[in-house]
Amino acid sequence: MTAAADVTPLRPMDQFELDYSAQRRRAKLGWFIASVLFFAFFAFSAWLGDFFKVTQVTNVDGSREFRWIIPAGLPRLGEFIEKTLPVLRWDSLGADFAGWFWRWKVWLNLLIETVLIAFMATALGVFGGFVMSFPASRNLAPNKWVLWICRRYLEIARTVPELVWALIFVFCFSVGPMAGVLAIGLHTAGALGKLYSEVNENIDMRPLEGVKAAGGTWFDQIRYGAVPQVMPNIISYTLLRFEINVRASSIIGYVGAGGLGQEFREALSLQEYTDLSALFIIIFVTVMVIDYGSEKLRHRVIGLEKGPAT
Amino acid sequence: MTPTDAQIKDWMNKQPQAFRDTPTVRARKIGLWVLLIGLFAWCLYDFNFSPERIWVGLQRLGTVVSFMFPPHLWETWPEWVEVFTALGETVAMAFLGTVLGLIIAFPVSFLGAKNITRIFFLRHTARRGYDIIRAFETLILALIFIRAFGLGPLAGILAIAVSEIGTFGKLFSEALENTSKRPVEGVVASGGSRFQSILYGIMPQVLPVHLSIILYNFESNVRSSTILGIVGAGGIGFMLSDRIAGLFWDQVWTIIFLIIAMVYIVDYLSGLIRTRVIGKWEGAH
């Protein structure tokens, strides 16, 4: 094609070729810069992340030697996982199981506590998020300042992880499930408030105008104009959040805020390694059952109340 | 024009269904509310939400919050370097965890896609594999890796990487399944092999989707790598839990604000990459 350019009959085609190669060059340059940046960042973060750290290991014959941390750690990982698995023999299966789940009475109590923490935190979060979501949505906020304050509040509540809130609340409200409820509840209020306010921003404003025309106040407009439209979405988001909160409340006990998490910490520090696998199985089964049940419920709710807002 | 109260009452009596639910629906609604409120009240009792405990707690919370202003600023340069190294470690943990998870999950995700892996057994094994990996909390994985690799960001990186394999595997294989078949048919019709039909028929469709999944997961990993520090996996979370244990509340608030700022910046940058790359992609079509 470039040879044809000397003969000069095909001007538009040449123009196209020129543009095309220029575009190709630009794209290549872009890719080159992006990959250089990527690898620089990769190498830097690998260095920050201890990939090139050297550690001492003890050999079988007792001598010490230096090795890179990853090859040194992998065998230890295998050993640790092996230790968490219980010994189950076929001829004494019942006794082995009883030995594996030896603290099942305590665990059952804590499991109920975990689910109740999740329930209560979801209830508090729904209340907080629901109330805050109306002043935090652009089309419904009474004025700019309220909008700004509510949005920042929700952002702070959801950006700070539950575990950090839990650490703070454990100090304030002492060890126990109360701190966990408040921590997860605050985080949930932030997360749900955002989701709800997004739902609110997508509603049809005409019902609100109708209420306003009939002489309704801001509260009347929200209550009779907005709430009926957003209800189905809110129920579905709430059930989803309950599933997430069950997971969160099962680990929040690690910092002393109630639930099964404290058993993880205890098992680790008392070196009862088979307890870890038992606890993991308990949480896995619970989360699966709750996910399944809430999915069924969600589909039913969406089927029952097919609202205009989706 | 305004109807009188008597008229309104008259209409309500004529059309009861339009103004209130049927008795069964009402009974069910009331029952549900009673159940929920009863459970809530029982929890209040069971978790010992006594007024004086709440009062004492709120007073302490007030003390803690009062340390927020004026914000604590570290006085010497090495202290600032320590804080920013910790923030960098947190981002590095999220970044490396996402990248390592991606490297493993990308090839594995093809096994879980219906339109690529036709063998039922293989596909379902892969899918259940993703589900099992996703069932492990990142925090619990971090605890396991801390046992093997010691305290520090490496344990966090590996925890995030492993849990991302499950998430990416699932999301990627769903993205692969949601592609149009026509480009694949076009490649096959012009004599392309099966590999070529995937490379030129499916990949251009899924790459933008993959990119947005990766960026979204990176953002969420930045948040979770903050938590991993609390159990000892390095980064800003480690520093935060250390300051909380020492009751340095003024420093705690500064660190929390820095975390919020870090999350903002990461979200902003990833939004920038998203619009740039995906926008460019659409322009090339």
What is chain A's mean pLDDT, rounded? 85
Assigned domain for A97 exists: no
Q: Rounded CA gap, A284 and B213, in Å?
A: 25
CB contact under 8 A, A247 and B149: no
Identify all chain B residues contacting A55, using CB atoms and an 8 Å cutoff.
150
pLDDT at B191 over 80: yes
Q: How many contiguous H segments (helices) and E segments (strands) does chain A have? A: 12, 2
The residue type at A172:
C
pLDDT at B16 over 80: no
CB contact under 8 A, A69 and B150: yes
pLDDT band of residue A307 (cuts 50, 70, 90) is: very low
Following DSSP, what letter does each residue of B116-158 receive, concatenated? Answer: T---HHHHHHHHHHHHHHHHS-HHHHHHHHHHHH-SSHHHHHH
What is the dihedral sign for C-alpha A46, A50, A53, A55?
Answer: negative
Best mutation target, A20, A45, A47, A162, to test chain B (most B CBs within 10 A)? A45
Q: Taking CA atoms, what residue in B is nearest to A248?
A: B137
The count of CB pairs under 8 A between chains A and B is: 148
Between A19-33, A84-98, B59-73, the lowest mean confidence (pLDDT) is in A84-98
Nearest-CA distance A7 → chain B (Å): 31
> What pLDDT does residue A86 have?
82
A107: Cβ contacts below 8 Å, ≥ 6 apart = A101, A260, A263, A278, A279, A282
Between B103-112, B144-153, B155-164, the lowest mean confidence (pLDDT) is in B144-153
A180 and A291: one domain? Answer: yes
CB distance from A123 to chain B under 8 Å?
Answer: yes
DSSP A174: -
What is the pLDDT averaged over residues A111-139?
A: 91
What is the pLDDT averaged over residues A297-303?
A: 76
Q: Which residue has the higher pLDDT, A166 or A54?
A: A166
Assigned domain for A61 exists: no
What is the pLDDT averaged over residues A158-168?
A: 90
Q: Taking CA atoms, what residue in A is nearest to B62?
A: A172
Assigned domain for A263 exists: yes
A24 and A135: one domain? Answer: no
A106 and A42: one domain? Answer: no
What is the pLDDT averaged over residues B76-99?
A: 91
A109 and A233: one domain? Answer: yes
Give the closest of B46, B150, B154 to A51, CB-based. Answer: B154
Render the burial of A68-84: b for 16+ CB within 10 Å, e for the rest. ebbebbeeeeeebeeeb
What is the pLDDT averaged over residues B56-80?
A: 88
Q: Enter the tokens of residue A275.
A: 């307890």
Domain residue extents for chain B: 77-284
Give the closest of B89, B137, B226 to A48, CB-based. Answer: B89
> What pLDDT does residue A10 have?
66
Residue A277's CB: how many other CB atoms inside 10 A? 16
List pLDDT tens digits, range B208-257: 889 989 999 999 999 889 989 888 888 899 999 889 988 889 999 999 99
Q: How many domains is chain A partitioned into structurally?
A: 2
Q: Taking CA atoms, what residue in B is nearest to A76?
A: B148
What is the pLDDT averaged over residues B12-41?
A: 85
List pLDDT tens digits, range A199-233: 888 888 899 899 999 888 888 888 888 888 888 88
pLDDT band of residue A46 (cuts 50, 70, 90) is: confident
Q: Enter the tokens of residue A146.
A: 């309220």
Assigned domain for A64 exists: no
Assigned domain for A179 exists: yes
Q: Which domain holds residue A32?
A: 3-48
> What pLDDT does residue A305 have?
53
List pLDDT tens digits, range B69-80: 888 888 888 999
A171 and A255: one domain? Answer: yes
Interface confidence, given as ipTM, is 0.82
CB contact under 8 A, B145 and A50: no
Nearest to A111 by CA among A293, A245, A258, A239: A258
Identify all chain A residues contacting B44, using CB atoms and an 8 Å cutoff.
120
Q: Which residue has the higher pLDDT, A99 or B1?
A: A99
Percent of chain B with pLDDT over 70: 97
CB contact under 8 A, A123 and B53: no
pLDDT at A5 over 60: no
Chain A 139-158, CB below 8 Å of chain B: which residues?
A: 155-156
CB contact under 8 A, A254 and B64: no
Identify all chain A residues contacting B137, using CB atoms and an 8 Å cutoff.
247, 250-251, 283
Assigned domain for A254 exists: yes
> What pLDDT does residue A3 have?
52
Superfamily of chain region B77-284: MetI-like (1.10.3720.10)
CB contact under 8 A, A173 and B47: no
What is the pLDDT averaged over residues A86-94?
A: 81
Nearest to B146 by CA among B89, B231, B221: B231
Nearest to B92 by CA among B262, B274, B276, B280: B262
3-state secondary structure A212-274: HHCCCCHHHHHHHHHHHHHHHHHHHHHHHHHHHHHHHHHHHHHHCCCCCHHHHHHHHHCCCHH
CB contact under 8 A, B153 and A50: yes
> What pLDDT does residue B285 have?
39
Q: Enter the tokens of residue A297.
A: 């419920």
pLDDT at A239 over 60: yes
A21 and A165: one domain? Answer: no
Best mutation target, B2, B223, B228, B231, to test chain A (most A CBs within 10 A)? B231
Assigned domain for A96 exists: no
Between A48-57, A121-130, A253-262, the lowest mean confidence (pLDDT) is in A48-57
> What pLDDT does residue B283 have?
44
pLDDT at A308 over 50: no
Q: Taking CA atoms, what residue in B is nearest to A116?
A: B43
Q: Are A137 and A221 in contact, with CB atoms under 8 Å apart?
A: no
CB distance from A177 to chain B under 8 Å?
Answer: yes
What is chain B's mean pLDDT, rounded? 88
Phi-psi region of B37 (alpha: psi -120 to 50; beta: other; left: phi over 0): alpha
List pLDDT tens digits, range A251-270: 898 888 888 888 888 888 88
Best mutation target, B65, B149, B225, B277, to test chain A (most A CBs within 10 A)? B149
CATH of the domain at A175: 1.10.3720.10
What is the pLDDT averaged over residues B73-101?
A: 91
Q: Rounded CA gap, A121 and A273, in Å?
A: 30
B192: Cβ contacts below 8 Å, ≥ 6 apart = B200, B201
CB contact under 8 A, A254 and B231: yes
**Peptide bond connecting B70 to the previous residue in cis, omega within 30 degrees of 0:** yes
> What pLDDT does residue A8 have?
58
pLDDT at A309 over 50: no
φ, ψ for residue B109 (rounded to 5)? -65, -25
Assigned domain for A310 exists: no
Chain A 217-276, CB below 8 Å of chain B: which residues?
A: 247, 250-251, 254-255, 258, 264, 268
